[in-house]
Each structure stands twice: as structure tokens, then as C-alpha cells.
Amino acid sequence: MSAVTATAPTADVKGDARIPLRGHLRHTGALIRRNLLWIRQDPESMFDALLMPVVFTLLFVYVFGGSIGLALGGGQDRYVQYVIPGMIAMMSMTLSQGVGTGFSQDFNSGVMDRFRSLPIGRGSVLFAKIAVELARMLFATAVLMVVAVLVGFHITHWGGLLATVALSAAFASSIMWVFLTLGVVLKNAQSVQAMGFLVLFPLQFGSSIFAPTKSMPGWLQSFTDYNPLSTLADSARGLMVGGPIAHDLWVTLAWSAGITAVMAPVAIHKFRTKS
């Protein structure tokens, strides 16, 4: 019995390797459909994607917009133009942790045991999760932009908006590999959520998302200079409302590629080992 158990993961990995690319794509499509049907049966799982853009936009615009807007050389209207691109960057990371909590719940509910008994590619499970979370992020971005227009945001560069969404999706997909790893390694969804909070909180508020970094202490400015959320937010501003783009854009793409290159193999290895 123990010998069979010990060799089972190896057999799974070999079986996964023998599945052709077309098979992986078919399995991924079926699992995406399965995850979308689950959301349809449990619409409450979309509450964060629906309410987060509304709550955060109204909170920061009407609570901090006046004072920070004055520091920017304008008022609340000036702050709206500043914070909305940053909030697209914020959501790309905040909603990414949902892939980790959902993955952990699938393990604890026995869904992964069912997948293990099926002749499907193990990587298809991971890619399907990422695809559905990206769809949730796009939905949240659409909600954000509707609220942004209502509070006075002016969309002057539609091409820049689309480029910002694409850049945010690329960065979000890289961060999702981190949360997928946490979803496999940690015991439950609450642990994934707590660890995500510890990671997200300093990255979001130690960045240029909500306020300029010039008034921050020198040591904190050094942190924000290398914070990928700062470069993503600054890239979004340059694309959507005008300003320098090239440096922040390339740094953000480098972060996205680097995080994916490091964390994707780790997540896949941990998942194959556990499943």
C-alpha cells in the first residue's frame, strides 16, 4: 500500500507530460466553464469584484480627495485624475489573492481529489483558475471605470486605458502564481487570506497608488521606487492621463516576467506534489 502511494505522484506527472497541447487546452476550457458555472451558482463570490471598486473609489475621492488634491496643485477633480489609474493597479493585486483562497477551498472540499481521479492535465487546473480570476479582474475594472466617470474622471486616451488594462492583467497573472503557491502550501483559505493581507497592505500603501511619494521619508521613498505597484500605477497614469511612460512600463513588465519565471514553476511543482 505504501509503495503504491509513494509512486503515485510520479505516475501523475508522467501522465500529465503525455497529454498533448490540444488536450491541455480542451481541459483548461472545460475547467474554465466549470469555474464560471460555480460563480453563477454562487453569485456572492462576485461581491468583492463588484463592491470593492465602488467603496474604495468613493472613500478615497471624498475623504482624501480634497487635501491630497490641494497637494497636487488642484482639488478633488485633480485627485480623481490621479487616483483612478492607481486603483486599477491596486485591484490587479487585491483581487489576485482570490485565486489562492479558492484553490485552498478546492483542496479542503475534496474537489482536487476528484480532479486527481480524472485523466486531465494538472497544469490545466492552474491555468483555468488564473483565467477566471482575470475575468473577475476585468469585471471589477469595468465597474471602477463606470464609478470613476460618475465622480468626474475624464477618459482622454481610450487606447491608453486598454493598454493599462492589459498591463494590469499581465502583472496580476504573475502575482496569481504567488497566491496559487500559498493556496497549495497553507492549510486553509483563512491562512491564505491572512498571508495575503500581510503582503498586500505594505505594498499598496507604500506606493504611489493613493498619494505622491515625495512627502514620504527617504527610506520609504527608496522602497516605493522599487515597488512594482508604484511603477504599475505610474505607468497607468502616463497611459491614461499623459506623462512619462517608458521607464515605469519596462520595470513593470520586468517585475511581471520575473515573478512568473520564479513562481510559476514553484506553484506547478507544489501542486503536482500535493495532488
Quickly state the pLDDT bin for 259 (edges 50, 70, 90).
very high
pLDDT at 91 over 90: no
Q: What tens digit of pLDDT does each residue of 157-182 get?
A: 889 999 999 999 999 999 999 999 99
Q: How many angstroms separate the CA atoms of 84 and 213, rounded?
A: 16
pLDDT at 142 over 90: yes
Residue 269's alpha-carbon distances to 20, 114, 117, 187, 261, in angstroms, are 19, 19, 18, 17, 13
pLDDT at 17 (0 to 100): 52
Average pLDDT over residues 199-218: 87
Q: Which pairs from 243-252 meet CB under 8 Å and 24+ separation?
A: 249/167, 252/167, 252/171, 252/228
Average pLDDT over residues 122-139: 88
3-state secondary structure of 74: coil
Q: What residue spans define the domains of the chain?
A: 25-274
Task: Please answer whether residues 252 and 174 qualify as being in contact, where contact means their C-beta atoms are separated by less than 8 angstroms.
Answer: no
Q: What tens digit of pLDDT does each residue of 31-90 get?
A: 888 888 888 888 887 888 889 999 999 999 998 888 888 888 888 899 999 999 999 988
Q: How many angstroms separate the CA atoms of 200 and 55, rounded?
A: 18
Q: What tens digit of pLDDT does each residue of 97-128 get?
A: 888 888 888 777 777 767 766 667 777 888 88
pLDDT at 200 over 60: yes
Quickly state the pLDDT bin for 5 (edges 50, 70, 90).
very low
Q: How many angstroms separate the CA atoms of 142 and 165, rounded?
A: 10
> Crossing angle, helix 97-109 and helix 122-150, to 10 degrees?
140
pLDDT at 109 (0 to 100): 76
Percent with pLDDT over 70 in the chain: 89
Task: Indicate the pTM of the whole model.
Answer: 0.85
Percent with pLDDT over 90 in the chain: 39
- Written as one letter, the residue type at 66 is G
Average pLDDT over residues 248-267: 94
- Written as one letter, the residue type at 163 is A
pLDDT at 140 (0 to 100): 93
Quickly state the pLDDT bin for 16 (edges 50, 70, 90).
low
Q: How many angstroms separate the CA atoms of 92 and 136, rounded?
A: 10
Least confident range from 10-14, 59-63, 136-140: namely: 10-14
Q: What is the mean pLDDT of the chain?
A: 84
pLDDT at 275 (0 to 100): 59
Task: Please answer whether residues 240 and 253 qualify as being in contact, where contact means their C-beta atoms are separated by less than 8 angstroms.
Answer: no
